[in-house]
Structure 1
């Protein structure tokens, strides 16, 4: 039986398919350098690029951790990707780069000669609010010593990027956080000293060496560093950033579920200097589609729909009205999310070649007792912007509410 009363929605799969989630990336070379819970898997992208060739140009307008573009590059296909978050753009380009044997050796030599001796003096650590919730003071001191060593190492910038990639892995592994839910959460420390047995800089060296070795082994894998590129920009204004004629779009935009990338990325962004305070984090999330962190929520309270950018989907305003009965903020959030999606597709059509294929991996949402059929709204927005043969495929059950699934919305752009 069909999940929804719509003949373009394929039947629901019988189980959760972890091969299509970020978990499948953890052991896949460069894909596993840093986890991001909402990420989707390389295997799914490989299924979608199977029909593409050397002459194709793929666009991912919502970069995330760079899964789409990296997978394309691994298969010899050119791909560009865009994100409004500068840390994600940095991470993606580090993954996409080709590294010379000398640069690999620089990073290995740094690790071999690393001496993390606690001097008792203070080292810089990021101005992350309530940082003691993230790391025990001794763990934080160990990370600070390691960070300073990487920052001042006499190595090339590509080698330093690899070192910082490993540092980010170590930072999150020593933090008091859990990934057992669909988003990151704090967990109770198992003892008075910290979440892992690090405590002193000297004990951190082994963990860092292990993670760096994993990064370097993947970096040694041959990859054409010219095939994939990540750009800093807004997916609602792609035409101002990119030169067009992309033949395929493969992407997974943020879902309308109030889970913020900023929330997951804050520790990395503060350590690497992309964030300085909470206000900056909120301002950045307000620019993102679906962002609600910090001041983005208060901004929502003042937001008003744009009559020139209607979301033309049957029953959409009724859905918004039902949500508003329980929460005005959530109603505004959902309305703004889909209005931003309309702006995204308006811009997208200006950079696509005629006949381009599009694949959007999206998830539905539920607010109180109101279902938001994201996949059907995307399908209708695509039709209204020149896409034909639009179909929705239900690909997996998500690890949250029983009504929530992940879909691929596909279509072909005819202009």
Structure 2
């Protein structure tokens, strides 16, 4: 694959989540391990994407690919296994809400919230009659006074607006400021870090209302053609696409970024959201989801991966991944199993989506190389070999290394372009 390798630096303001922080709608929810909207534009243009094409993201996350496709008036579809991120993606791409009606709903939420705060002024958070989030050590995550107002506001949003679309919109507004603004954490690129916010000025309504008003203002700037451009989102595992039937039209372009193989937990960063918004009711649910995901090593996944030996799923995995996994196994069997699981699932995902693609489909996968137990995992080259070796008719056109990861000079982030022959 040496002849397909190119180096083309793309600034972090374009390639990472930072670009979305100042972009309408993209800024509604910050997902740090995601690429930026401008990087989506770069990939769309590289693959000569036109308005009649259809774009897919099998790891849709917060919806960057789908949103940017909508802004370019290109139909799109996404898949997401994480129920909270599915909610974010689905709600963010629903742009046909009336701003004036949303402002009226926000005023109703404000009135009901103030009334509830006054009624419960003498009560502690555990006296409200509202179940606490079922996350381990809940007061490590939230100050009691802040959690009290958060629960009151969440419940008001779930009952005050008459339209479900308005409720979802304001729940997303609350999610947009929940972490890190109102939670005892700082937000790193790969994980959350607990910090002491006992003396911080945390104002639940001010944070929520400010973000909600910005979101409503964003809606006013969006054109009717963008609003009408379809963007469908499915809550499913992209390695199986269970429950996904034939799409109305074949997919022409795939733009995505699976989790990187650097022991990043796909679920851990979203734990406070999953439990606060009652998508999970038991502590073991987050660990169970992490076990299913590509890149999951947290909780139950750790105990499962520490047992036995995970075998390659396909001969091309055996050819290219087994040597890497065997080298890691001499130092850490658990991480050797993790690497094998990672590439097994990545290959299964490529195979599962094939039935949805057109015969001339083009794919762009953003991946990161890693060093695991001192062994260099050259994800971009390995993924390129897998694309060509699965027997699906792919030819790798280019591996574009666009950014050095901060953890090492040889650890690049790359785009692997694979086209159907």
Give the TM-score of the pair, scaled to structure 1: 0.90
Deviation by residue 1:72-94 (Cα, 9 ceiling, x = unmatched): 01111000000111211111111
Give, in whole Å, the separation in 2 of the partners of 1:266 and 1:74. Answer: 30
Of residues 398, 403, 421, the one that matches 1:396 is: 403
Give, in whole Å, the separation in 2 of the partners of 1:154 and 1:12. Answer: 48
Task: Give the SS at the match of 2:68.
Answer: helix
Matches within 5 A, 1:62-141: 62-97=59-94, 98-101=96-99, 103-113=101-111, 114-115=113-114, 116-117=117-118, 118-121=120-123, 122-123=127-128, 124=130, 125-141=132-148
Of residues 243, 247, 255, the one that matches 2:246 is: 243
Task: Report the CA distance shift for 1:18/1:232 in structure 2 as closer, same or farther (over 3 A).
Answer: same
Match of 2:154 in 1: 147
Deviation by residue 1:50-88 (Cα, 9 ceiling, x = unmatched): 332221111111111111011101111000000111211
Contact 2:4/2:398 (CA < 8 Å) preserved in 1?
Answer: yes
Give, in whole Å, the separation in 1 of the partners of 2:355 and 2:272. Answer: 36
Give, in whole Å, the separation in 2 of the partners of 1:90 and 1:405. Answer: 31
Deviation by residue 1:114-134 (Cα, 9 ceiling, x = unmatched): 413342332323111112111
Matches within 5 A, 1:360-399: 360-384=365-389, 385-399=392-406
Q: CA deviation at 1:256?
A: 0.9
Q: CA deviation at 1:309?
A: 2.4
Contact 1:165/1:215 (CA < 8 Å) preserved in 2?
Answer: no
Contact 2:134/2:281 (CA < 8 Å) preserved in 1?
Answer: yes
Match of 1:256 in 2: 261
Q: CA deviation at 1:347?
A: 1.6
Task: Give the SS at the match of 1:349.
Answer: helix
Match of 1:227 in 2: 230
Q: CA deviation at 1:185?
A: 1.6
Match of 1:197 in 2: 201
Matched, 1:268 2:264: no
Of residues 33, 38, 51, the one that matches 1:38 is: 33
Of residues 175, 185, 191, the one that matches 2:193 is: 185
Give, in whole Å, the separation in 2 of the partners of 1:87 and 1:378. Answer: 28
Q: CA deviation at 1:159?
A: 1.0
Q: CA-atom RMSD, angstroms?
A: 2.1
Gaps of 5+ in 1: none
Task: Report the CA distance shift for 1:219/1:400 in structure 2 as closer, same or farther (over 3 A).
Answer: farther
Task: Report the CA distance shift for 1:181/1:253 in structure 2 as closer, same or farther (over 3 A).
Answer: closer
Task: Give the SS at the match of 2:29.
Answer: coil
Q: CA deviation at 1:407?
A: 0.3
Match of 1:206 in 2: 206
Task: Report the CA distance shift for 1:400/1:176 in structure 2 as closer, same or farther (over 3 A).
Answer: farther
Q: CA deviation at 1:179?
A: 2.2
Contact 2:287/2:301 (CA < 8 Å) preserved in 1?
Answer: yes
Task: Give the SS at the match of 2:267.
Answer: helix
Contact 2:396/2:419 (CA < 8 Å) preserved in 1?
Answer: yes
Say how many residue pairs are matched: 401
Give, in whole Å, the separation in 2 of the partners of 1:373 and 1:399. Answer: 16
Contact 1:364/1:405 (CA < 8 Å) preserved in 2?
Answer: yes
Match of 2:291 in 1: 286
Task: Report the CA distance shift for 1:308/1:126 in structure 2 as closer, same or farther (over 3 A).
Answer: closer
Contact 1:313/1:380 (CA < 8 Å) preserved in 2?
Answer: no
Give, in whole Å, the separation in 2 of the partners of 1:225 and 1:127. Answer: 39
Deviates more, 1:121-130 or 1:25-34: 121-130
Give, in whole Å, the separation in 2 of the partners of 1:119 and 1:225. Answer: 45
Gaps of 5+ in 2: none
Give the TM-score of the pair, scaled to structure 2: 0.89
Task: Give the SS at the match of 1:10.
Answer: strand
Q: CA deviation at 1:406?
A: 0.7
Match of 2:57 in 1: 60
Contact 1:313/1:377 (CA < 8 Å) preserved in 2?
Answer: no
Give, in whole Å, the separation in 2 of the partners of 1:255 and 1:344. Answer: 15
